[in-house]
Structure 1
Amino acid sequence: MTAIIDFLNTIFWGYVLIYGLLAVGIYFTIRLGFIQILHFGEMFRCVLGSRATDKDGISPFQALTVSLASRVGTGNIAGVAVAITLGGPGAIFWMWMVALVGMATAYAESTLAQLYKEHGPGGMYRGGPAFYIKKGLGQGWLAAIFAVTLIVTFGLIFNAVQSNSIAEAASGAFGLNKAVVGIAVAVLSALIIFGGIPQIARVAEFMVPFMAGAYLLAAAWVMIANITEVPGVFGHIIASAFGWQEAVGGAAGGIAAAMMNGVKRGLFSNEAGMGSAPNIAAVAVPVPHHPSSQGFVQALGVFIDTLMVCSATAVMILLSGAVPSAELTGVALTQAALTEHFGGFGQTFVAVAIFFFAFTSIIGNYAYAENAMVFLGHNHMTGVVVLRVAVIAMVIWGAIQKVQTVFDFADASMGLMATINLFAIVALSGTITYVTRDYLNQRAAGRDPTFRVSDHPEIAPGVNPLIWK
C-alpha cells in the first residue's frame, strides 16, 4: 500500500498537478483577460457589498472568511519556512507568481459553484465541484468520486493533521499532554460544527480576521523596526528567484530549486484549483446577484493567503538572524525567527498562531466536507451527522498519532480530487467565459450586474432556473 501511495504521489505531485495547476492558472488568466489584475478592485466591492445573510445562505464576507479558515493553516507558518530552507528566498517570489495565476483559477471554479448551486436540507444553498461536474458535464459517477475524495481528504485526514499540529505546538510551548489537547480541540470543534455551516460562518467571520490581523500586525511591526533592511530583503528574494544570488543556509540554491519549492508550497497553501473553496462559495448569497461575484470573492482569498500571510512569515524569517538548515526548518525556523524579533514571547506567539490557524482550518475543512456529504446523501441529514462524529474522532486521533502513510494517502486523495476538478473547469471554461463577459458588460454599462438564466437560453444546461430567476 505504501508503494502504491508513493507512486501516486509521484505522479500527481511530481508531474500532473505542479504543471497542471500552473497551466490551468495561466490558461484562465489569458482567457479571462487578466481578470485578477485588471479587475482587482471588483474583489473588494463584491466582499463588502453586503454583510447580510438569509435563510438560504451566508454572506459574501462569511464565505471569504470560511475559505480563509481552510486556506490559512499551518502551511503559512511551517510551509513557508520549508520553502525558504529548500529553495532559498527566491522560492517566495515563485509563491507570489503561482498565487497571481491561481487567483484566476479560484475565480473560475467558484463562479461555476455559484452557477450550478442547489437548495439542500432546510433550503440552504449547496454546491461545489461535485455539483457542477454532475450538472454541467453530466458525469455523475465522476462527481461521486470527487465527493468521496474530498470527504476523506479535507473532512477526515487533513483535520487529523491540523489537530496534530496544535498538539505538537501546545506540547512544545506549554508542556501540555497531547491527548488532553486533542480532547479539548475536539470539544471546541464539536460546539461549532454541530451548529452546521451557519454556525461555522459566524465563528469564522470573527475569528479569521482576528487571527490574520494579529499575524499581519506582528509582521508590520517587524518591518517597521527593521525598515532600512526591508528593501534589501525584497531585492534578495527577486535576485534569488532568478539565480542572480547564491542561496544561503541549507537551501539547495539555483532557479530550479527556488521555482519548484515556491510553486509547490504556493499551491499547497492557496488551494486554487483544488476544488475545496468552491464548496463554501456556493453557499453564499452573492452581492451583486450574479455567479461571477463569488468568483471575485474567492480570488481575493488566494491573494490574502499567499501574497499577505505567507509573505508575512517570509519577511519575519528573512529579517531575523535565523539561518535555515536541515536541522532548523519548518515551525522551528519560524519560532527561531520570531524569538529573534520578540524574545521569549516569539515561541509562544507561534504556538498561539498555530492553534488559531489550525483550528480554523478544522472547521473550514469540515464545511467543505459537509457539502460533499449532502451531494452523496441526496439531502438526507443522516450522513452529515455521521460525518460530524467521524471528524471529532479524527481530531482526537490526530493529536496523539503520527502515521505518515495515512497522511501520504491524503496527499494522493487530494491529488485525484484536484485532477478531476481541473478537468471539469477546463471542460466548462466556455461557460465561465460567457458568465464573466455578461458580468463585466453590465458593469461597463454602469449597471449592478444581475443574472437571470431565462435571459441566457444558450447557457449550459443544468442551471437551476428557480435560483437564478
Structure 2
Amino acid sequence: MHDVVAFLNNIVWGYVLIYMLVLAGIWFTIRLKAIQFRHFFHMFSVMRHSRTGDSASISSFQALCTTLAARVGTGNLMGVAVAISLGGPGAVFWMWVIALVGMATAFAESTLAQLYKEKDHLGRFRGGPAFYMRKGLKSPAMALVFSICLFFGYGFVFGAVQANSISDAFNGSYGIDPVYTGAVITVLTAIIVVGGLKNIARFAELVVPFMGVAYVLVALFVISMNVSAVPDIFADIVGSAFGLREAGSGLVGAAIMQGIKRGLYSNEAGMGSAPNAAAAATPYPPHPVSQGYVQMLGVFLDTIVLCTCTALIILMSGIPLGQEFGIQLTQQALANQVGDWGSDFISIAILFFGFTSIVANYAYAENSLSFIGLDNKLGKLFFNLVFLVMIFYGSVATLGEVIAMADLGVGLMTIVNVTAIVLLTKSLVFVAKDYNQHLDAGKLPEFKIDEQQEQDMRLTKNIWRH
C-alpha cells in the first residue's frame, strides 16, 4: 500500500499538480487583475462587519475561523519543519510563492461557492465545489468524483495527520504513550462534532484567534532576541530557493517540491476545502465576492504570517537540519531559544491547532455525504466511526505513513477542483466585476440579478433574488 501511494504521489505531484497550481494562480491573478495585491487592504476592511450573521447560518468571521482551524495546524508547526528538513531553507520561499499566487485561487473558489450555494431542508446555507460542479458546470459526475476525494481526504486521512502531530508532540515533551493521547483526542472529537457545523464554528471562533495571537507573540519575542540575524536568514531563504548558496545548490528541486507541497497543505488554496465553510456563511457585504476576500485573507494569515513565524523560529535556533524531523524539530527549535517551556508551548499550540483542524475536517467531509449516498442515519454512523477510528490510527502510526496518504488526498482533490474553477472563470469574472463597480461608485456591494441571469448562470432559484 505504501508503495502504491508513493507511486501515485510521484505522478500527481511530480508531473501534474505543481504546474497546475502555479498556472492556475497566475491565470486567476491575471483574470482578476492581481486582486490579491490591488485590493490587499480591502480584504482586511471586509472583516469589519464579519460577525454579522443570522440564525440559519454562520457569520463570515466564524467561516474564517473554521477554515483557519483546518489550515492552522500541522501545516504551520509540523509542515514547515518537514519542508525545511527535506528541502532546505529555500522551501520557505516557495511556500510564500504558492501562497501569494494561491490567494487569487482561494478568492476564486470561495466566491464561486457562495455564488452557487443552496439551502437545505432546515434553511441553512450549504455549498462548495461539488455544488458549483453540479450546478455551474452541469456535471454530477465531476461533483461525485470530487466528493469521493473530499471524503477520502477529510474523512480518512487529514484527521490522522493532525492526531499524529499532537501525539508525537506530547510523546516528545512528556513521554506520554501515543495510545493514550489518541484515545483522549478521539473522545473529545466525538463530543464536539455531534453539534454539527454551527457548533464547530463556535468552537473555532473561540480557540483559533486566541492561539493564533499567542503563537505570533511568542514568535515575535524570539525574532526580537535574534533581530540581527533576520537579514541573513531571509538571504539564506532566497538564495537557497534558487541554488545560489553552496549548501543548497543540489536542493532546488526538493525546495520547490516541498515548498509547494507543504504550502498547499497548509493554506489549502485550490484544494476545495475552505469553500465548504465559505458557502455556509451569510456574507457581508451581501455579495458572493465578499467571501472571496475573507478566504483570501485566510491564506495570507496562514502562510505569510504563521508559517513564516515557524520558519524563523527553526532557522534562528541553530539546529543542524536533519537531526530532528516534524513537530519535534519545531519543539526543539523553540526550546533552544526560550528554554524548556518552549517545547511545552508547542505541545499546547499543536493540541489546540491540531484539534480545531480535526473538527473542521469533520465539517468538510460531512458536506460530501449527500453526493456519495451517505446522507442518511446508517451512512452518517459509518462516517462517524471511520472518522474516529482514523484519528486513533493516526495517533499511533508513523509520520511517513500518514503524510504520504495526506499528500495523495490533497493532490486528487486539488486536480478536480482547480479544473472546475478554471472552467467557471466567466462566472467568476462577472461577479467580481459587479462587486468592483459598486465599490468604485462608493456604494455597498450588493448582488442583485434578474431571473434570466439566474437561469443563464444556473444558480439556485431565488438564492440571490429578494
Band the TM-score falls in, shorter-chain normalisation: over 0.9
| Cα distance in 1, alignment partners of residues 244 and 452 from structure 2 | 52
CA contact (8 A) 2:165 2:327 kept: no
Question: Does residue 382 of structure 2 align to residue 373 of structure 1?
Answer: no
Distance 1:149 1:259, change over 3 A: closer
- How far has the Cα of 1:342 moved from its partner? 1.1
| Cα distance in 2, alignment partners of residues 422 and 122 from structure 1 | 30
Quote the sequence identity (%). 49
CA contact (8 A) 1:71 1:269 kept: yes
Question: Does residue 344 of structure 2 align to residue 351 of structure 1?
Answer: no
Question: Does residue 232 of structure 2 align to residue 201 of structure 1?
Answer: no
Q: Which residue of 2 aligns with 1:101?
A: 101
Q: Which residue of 2 aligns with 1:360?
A: 356
Equivalent positions of 1:255-270 (< 5 A) are 255-270=252-267
Q: Which residue of 1 aligns with 2:273?
A: 276
CA contact (8 A) 1:182 1:396 kept: yes
Equivalent positions of 1:6-21 (< 5 A) are 6-21=6-21
- How far has the Cα of 1:461 moved from its partner? 3.0
Segment of structure 1 superposing worse, 432-441 or 45-54: 45-54
SS across alignment from 1:324: coil
SS across alignment from 1:323: coil
Q: Which residue of 1 aligns with 2:169?
A: 169
| Cα distance in 2, alignment partners of residues 400 and 71 from structure 1 | 22
Segment of structure 1 superposing worse, 222-231 or 18-27: 222-231
Distance 1:349 1:73, change over 3 A: same
Q: Which residue of 1 aligns with 2:425?
A: 429
- How far has the Cα of 1:210 moved from its partner? 1.2
| Cα distance in 1, alignment partners of residues 178 and 204 from structure 2 | 25
Segment of structure 1 superposing worse, 448-457 or 349-358: 448-457
CA contact (8 A) 1:50 1:59 kept: yes
CA contact (8 A) 1:136 1:460 kept: no
Gaps in structure 2 of 5+ consecutive residues: none
Relative to the length of structure 2, the TM-score reads 0.94
Corresponding letter in the other structure for 1:245: R
| Cα distance in 2, alignment partners of residues 330 and 454 from structure 1 | 53
Q: Which residue of 2 aligns with 1:192?
A: 192
SS across alignment from 1:161: helix
- How far has the Cα of 1:414 moved from its partner? 3.1
| Cα distance in 2, alignment partners of residues 426 and 264 from structure 1 | 21
Relative to the length of structure 1, the TM-score reads 0.93
- How far has the Cα of 1:385 moved from its partner? 4.7
Corresponding letter in the other structure for 1:450: E
Equivalent positions of 1:224-303 (< 5 A) are 224-247=224-247, 253=250, 255-303=252-300
Corresponding letter in the other structure for 1:464: T
CA contact (8 A) 1:129 1:279 kept: yes
Segment of structure 1 superposing worse, 151-160 or 257-266: 257-266
Distance 1:254 1:11, change over 3 A: closer
| Candidates 313, 319, 324, aligned match of 1:322 | 319
- How far has the Cα of 1:379 moved from its partner? 6.3
Equivalent positions of 1:314-463 (< 5 A) are 314-325=311-322, 327-377=323-373, 380=376, 383-402=379-398, 408-454=404-450, 457=453, 460-463=456-459
Q: Which residue of 2 aligns with 1:214?
A: 214
- How far has the Cα of 1:457 moved from its partner? 1.6
- How far has the Cα of 1:100 moved from its partner? 0.3
Corresponding letter in the other structure for 1:349: F
- How far has the Cα of 1:113 moved from its partner? 0.4
Segment of structure 1 superposing worse, 376-385 or 5-14: 376-385
- Count of aligned pairs: 465
| Cα distance in 2, alignment partners of residues 254 and 166 from structure 1 | 29
CA contact (8 A) 2:161 2:406 kept: no
SS across alignment from 1:359: helix
Distance 1:244 1:456, change over 3 A: farther
- How far has the Cα of 1:11 moved from its partner? 1.2
Q: Which residue of 2 aligns with 1:89?
A: 89
Q: Which residue of 2 aligns with 1:48?
A: 48
| Cα distance in 2, alignment partners of residues 378 and 322 from structure 1 | 48
Corresponding letter in the other structure for 2:232: G
SS across alignment from 1:322: coil
Distance 1:458 1:367, change over 3 A: closer
| Cα distance in 2, alignment partners of residues 431 and 359 from structure 1 | 36
CA displacement 1:374-421 (0-9 Å, x = unmatched): 444596565345423432232223223349666644433432221111
| Cα distance in 2, alignment partners of residues 378 and 58 from structure 1 | 24
Q: Which residue of 2 aligns with 1:67?
A: 67
Distance 1:335 1:124, change over 3 A: same
CA displacement 1:26-59 (0-9 Å, x = unmatched): 1101111000010012211222223132122101
CA contact (8 A) 2:454 2:461 kept: no
SS across alignment from 2:320: coil
| Cα distance in 1, alignment partners of residues 456 and 398 from structure 2 | 46
CA displacement 1:434-469 (0-9 Å, x = unmatched): 110111111001111111232772774321132211
Corresponding letter in the other structure for 2:6: D
CA contact (8 A) 1:131 1:375 kept: no
Distance 1:375 1:286, change over 3 A: farther
Segment of structure 1 superposing worse, 219-228 or 391-400: 391-400
Distance 1:378 1:264, change over 3 A: closer
CA contact (8 A) 2:168 2:327 kept: no
| Candidates 296, 301, 305, aligned match of 2:302 | 305
Gaps in structure 1 of 5+ consecutive residues: none
Corresponding letter in the other structure for 1:100: L
CA contact (8 A) 1:130 1:147 kept: yes
| Cα distance in 1, alignment partners of residues 271 and 426 from structure 2 | 20
Corresponding letter in the other structure for 1:272: A
